[in-house]
Protein backbone atom coordinates (compact mmCIF):
# COMPACT_ATOMS: atom_id res chain seq x y z
CA UNK A 1 0.00 0.00 0.00
CA UNK A 2 1.22 3.49 -0.75
CA UNK A 3 0.17 6.56 1.12
CA UNK A 4 0.00 9.99 -0.51
CA UNK A 5 0.47 13.05 1.67
CA UNK A 6 -1.07 16.33 0.66
CA UNK A 7 0.72 19.55 1.51
CA UNK A 8 -1.31 22.73 1.65
CA UNK A 9 -0.22 25.67 -0.47
CA UNK A 10 -0.24 29.21 0.91
CA UNK A 11 -0.29 32.58 -0.81
CA UNK A 12 -0.22 36.17 0.36
CA UNK A 13 -1.89 38.90 -1.67
CA UNK A 14 -1.54 42.63 -1.12
CA UNK A 15 -4.64 44.69 -1.81
CA UNK A 16 -3.59 47.95 -3.46
CA UNK A 17 -7.10 49.33 -3.91
CA UNK A 18 -10.42 48.96 -2.13
CA UNK A 19 -11.93 48.03 -5.49
CA UNK A 20 -10.17 44.65 -5.49
CA UNK A 21 -12.98 42.05 -5.55
CA UNK A 22 -11.40 40.05 -2.69
CA UNK A 23 -10.89 43.05 -0.41
CA UNK A 24 -14.50 43.07 0.85
CA UNK A 25 -14.31 39.33 1.58
CA UNK A 26 -11.08 39.85 3.52
CA UNK A 27 -12.70 42.63 5.56
CA UNK A 28 -15.53 40.22 6.46
CA UNK A 29 -12.95 37.79 7.87
CA UNK A 30 -11.52 40.68 9.90
CA UNK A 31 -14.94 41.75 11.25
CA UNK A 32 -16.07 38.19 12.06
CA UNK A 33 -12.93 37.36 14.01
CA UNK A 34 -11.90 40.61 15.70
CA UNK A 35 -13.60 41.81 18.91
CA UNK A 36 -15.37 45.15 18.49
CA UNK A 37 -13.28 46.88 21.17
CA UNK A 38 -10.03 46.31 19.26
CA UNK A 39 -11.42 46.67 15.74
CA UNK A 40 -10.74 49.65 13.50
CA UNK A 41 -13.79 50.90 11.63
CA UNK A 42 -13.82 49.25 8.20
CA UNK A 43 -14.63 52.59 6.53
CA UNK A 44 -11.35 53.94 7.91
CA UNK A 45 -9.41 50.95 6.61
CA UNK A 46 -10.98 51.37 3.19
CA UNK A 47 -10.18 55.08 3.14
CA UNK A 48 -6.56 54.69 4.23
CA UNK A 49 -5.93 51.81 1.85
CA UNK A 50 -6.57 54.25 -0.99
CA UNK A 51 -5.07 57.39 0.62
CA UNK A 52 -2.33 56.57 3.17
CA UNK A 53 0.76 56.49 0.95
CA UNK A 54 -0.23 59.64 -0.93
CA UNK A 55 -0.85 61.64 2.24
CA UNK A 56 2.09 60.52 4.40
CA UNK A 57 4.73 59.01 2.14
CA UNK A 58 4.83 55.86 4.27
CA UNK A 59 3.38 52.52 3.20
CA UNK A 60 0.14 51.01 4.50
CA UNK A 61 -0.47 47.36 3.65
CA UNK A 62 -3.64 45.31 3.66
CA UNK A 63 -3.28 41.61 2.86
CA UNK A 64 -5.39 38.59 2.18
CA UNK A 65 -4.00 35.17 3.03
CA UNK A 66 -4.98 32.11 1.00
CA UNK A 67 -4.78 28.42 1.82
CA UNK A 68 -5.25 26.18 -1.20
CA UNK A 69 -6.74 29.15 -3.09
CA UNK A 70 -9.31 29.83 -0.35
CA UNK A 71 -9.20 33.21 1.38
CA UNK A 72 -8.73 32.43 5.09
CA UNK A 73 -6.89 35.42 6.62
CA UNK A 74 -6.56 39.17 6.81
CA UNK A 75 -3.66 41.37 7.94
CA UNK A 76 -2.57 44.98 8.12
CA UNK A 77 0.95 46.35 8.34
CA UNK A 78 2.83 49.58 7.75
CA UNK A 79 6.33 50.70 6.88
CA UNK A 80 7.46 53.99 8.43
CA UNK A 81 10.32 55.23 6.29
CA UNK A 82 11.94 57.72 8.65
CA UNK A 83 12.20 55.17 11.45
CA UNK A 84 12.82 52.26 9.05
CA UNK A 85 10.18 50.42 11.04
CA UNK A 86 7.84 47.60 9.96
CA UNK A 87 4.70 47.43 12.11
CA UNK A 88 2.55 44.29 11.99
CA UNK A 89 -1.11 44.72 12.85
CA UNK A 90 -4.32 42.65 12.87
CA UNK A 91 -3.27 39.16 11.86
CA UNK A 92 -6.66 37.47 11.65
CA UNK A 93 -7.55 33.94 10.61
CA UNK A 94 -11.03 32.50 10.18
CA UNK A 95 -11.84 30.25 13.14
CA UNK A 96 -11.69 27.00 11.14
CA UNK A 97 -8.05 27.72 10.21
CA UNK A 98 -6.63 28.82 13.56
CA UNK A 99 -4.03 26.12 13.75
CA UNK A 100 -0.39 26.62 14.66
CA UNK A 101 0.94 25.69 11.24
CA UNK A 102 -1.44 28.04 9.36
CA UNK A 103 -0.68 30.99 11.65
CA UNK A 104 3.06 30.25 11.37
CA UNK A 105 2.81 30.26 7.57
CA UNK A 106 0.86 33.53 7.71
CA UNK A 107 3.53 35.28 9.80
CA UNK A 108 6.31 33.79 7.68
CA UNK A 109 4.76 35.00 4.41
CA UNK A 110 4.18 38.49 5.83
CA UNK A 111 7.71 38.74 7.21
CA UNK A 112 9.34 37.62 3.97
CA UNK A 113 7.14 39.90 1.86
CA UNK A 114 7.90 43.02 3.91
CA UNK A 115 11.62 42.22 4.17
CA UNK A 116 11.77 41.95 0.38
CA UNK A 117 9.90 45.24 -0.03
CA UNK A 118 12.04 47.08 2.54
CA UNK A 119 15.46 45.42 2.87
CA UNK A 120 16.76 48.58 4.55
CA UNK A 121 14.42 48.23 7.56
CA UNK A 122 15.89 48.45 11.07
CA UNK A 123 13.21 46.82 13.24
CA UNK A 124 9.91 45.01 12.90
CA UNK A 125 7.35 45.14 15.72
CA UNK A 126 4.09 43.39 16.55
CA UNK A 127 1.54 44.36 19.20
CA UNK A 128 -0.13 41.49 21.10
CA UNK A 129 -3.03 42.70 23.26
CA UNK A 130 -4.04 40.89 26.46
CA UNK A 131 -7.79 41.35 26.06
CA UNK A 132 -10.26 43.86 27.46
CA UNK A 133 -9.70 44.51 31.20
CA UNK A 134 -7.12 41.69 31.33
CA UNK A 135 -4.04 42.04 33.53
CA UNK A 136 -2.35 39.02 31.94
CA UNK A 137 -2.25 37.68 28.36
CA UNK A 138 -5.15 35.47 27.30
CA UNK A 139 -4.47 31.95 26.05
CA UNK A 140 -4.80 33.14 22.44
CA UNK A 141 -2.42 36.05 23.13
CA UNK A 142 0.17 33.67 24.56
CA UNK A 143 -0.17 31.44 21.51
CA UNK A 144 0.37 34.38 19.14
CA UNK A 145 3.41 35.50 21.12
CA UNK A 146 4.89 32.00 20.98
CA UNK A 147 4.40 31.78 17.22
CA UNK A 148 6.00 35.20 16.68
CA UNK A 149 8.92 34.03 18.81
CA UNK A 150 9.36 31.10 16.43
CA UNK A 151 9.96 33.73 13.73
CA UNK A 152 12.69 35.39 15.80
CA UNK A 153 10.66 38.08 17.59
CA UNK A 154 11.39 38.93 21.22
CA UNK A 155 9.14 40.46 23.87
CA UNK A 156 10.22 43.94 25.00
CA UNK A 157 10.16 43.86 28.80
CA UNK A 158 8.61 47.28 29.30
CA UNK A 159 5.08 48.55 30.00
CA UNK A 160 2.96 48.88 26.87
CA UNK A 161 -0.68 49.75 26.25
CA UNK A 162 -2.70 49.67 23.09
CA UNK A 163 -4.03 53.23 22.80
CA UNK A 164 -7.76 53.85 22.55
CA UNK A 165 -9.27 53.20 19.15
CA UNK A 166 -11.44 56.30 19.71
CA UNK A 167 -11.06 59.03 22.35
CA UNK A 168 -14.50 58.20 23.78
CA UNK A 169 -13.87 54.43 23.89
CA UNK A 170 -11.94 53.68 27.11
CA UNK A 171 -12.60 49.92 26.82
CA UNK A 172 -10.38 49.76 23.73
CA UNK A 173 -7.32 50.79 25.77
CA UNK A 174 -5.67 47.63 27.07
CA UNK A 175 -2.43 46.13 28.22
CA UNK A 176 -0.29 44.50 25.57
CA UNK A 177 3.15 43.16 24.82
CA UNK A 178 5.26 44.77 22.14
CA UNK A 179 7.40 42.27 20.27
CA UNK A 180 10.45 43.27 18.25
CA UNK A 181 12.57 41.69 15.54
CA UNK A 182 15.94 42.86 14.29
CA UNK A 183 18.25 41.48 11.64
CA UNK A 184 21.11 41.90 14.12
CA UNK A 185 21.64 40.14 17.43
CA UNK A 186 19.35 42.18 19.66
CA UNK A 187 19.60 41.37 23.37
CA UNK A 188 19.00 44.85 24.81
CA UNK A 189 17.11 47.89 23.63
CA UNK A 190 17.91 51.42 24.76
CA UNK A 191 15.11 53.31 26.47
CA UNK A 192 15.36 56.07 23.84
CA UNK A 193 14.92 53.53 21.05
CA UNK A 194 11.91 51.95 22.72
CA UNK A 195 10.24 55.32 23.29
CA UNK A 196 10.88 56.39 19.69
CA UNK A 197 9.24 53.17 18.44
CA UNK A 198 6.22 53.66 20.70
CA UNK A 199 5.93 57.30 19.61
CA UNK A 200 5.97 56.25 15.95
CA UNK A 201 3.25 53.63 16.52
CA UNK A 202 1.04 56.01 18.52
CA UNK A 203 1.39 59.16 16.43
CA UNK A 204 2.33 58.06 12.91
CA UNK A 205 0.48 54.78 12.55
100: which residues sit within 8 A by CB, 6+ positions away?
Answer: 143, 147
Q: What is the mean pLDDT of residues 172-190?
A: 83
Question: What's the burial of 64, exposed, middle or buried (CB within 10 Å: 0-12/13-18/19+)?
Answer: buried
What rounded mean pLDDT belongs to the chain? 86
pTM to 2 decimal places:
0.85
Q: What is the mean pLDDT of residues 60-74?
A: 95
pLDDT of 189 over the 60 cut? yes
Amino acid sequence: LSMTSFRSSYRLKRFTTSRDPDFAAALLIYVRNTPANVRTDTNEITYWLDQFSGKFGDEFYVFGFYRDRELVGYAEAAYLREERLIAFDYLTLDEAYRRNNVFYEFVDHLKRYLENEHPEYRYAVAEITYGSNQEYPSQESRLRTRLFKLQGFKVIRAPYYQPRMELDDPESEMKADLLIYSTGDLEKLRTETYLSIVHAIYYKY
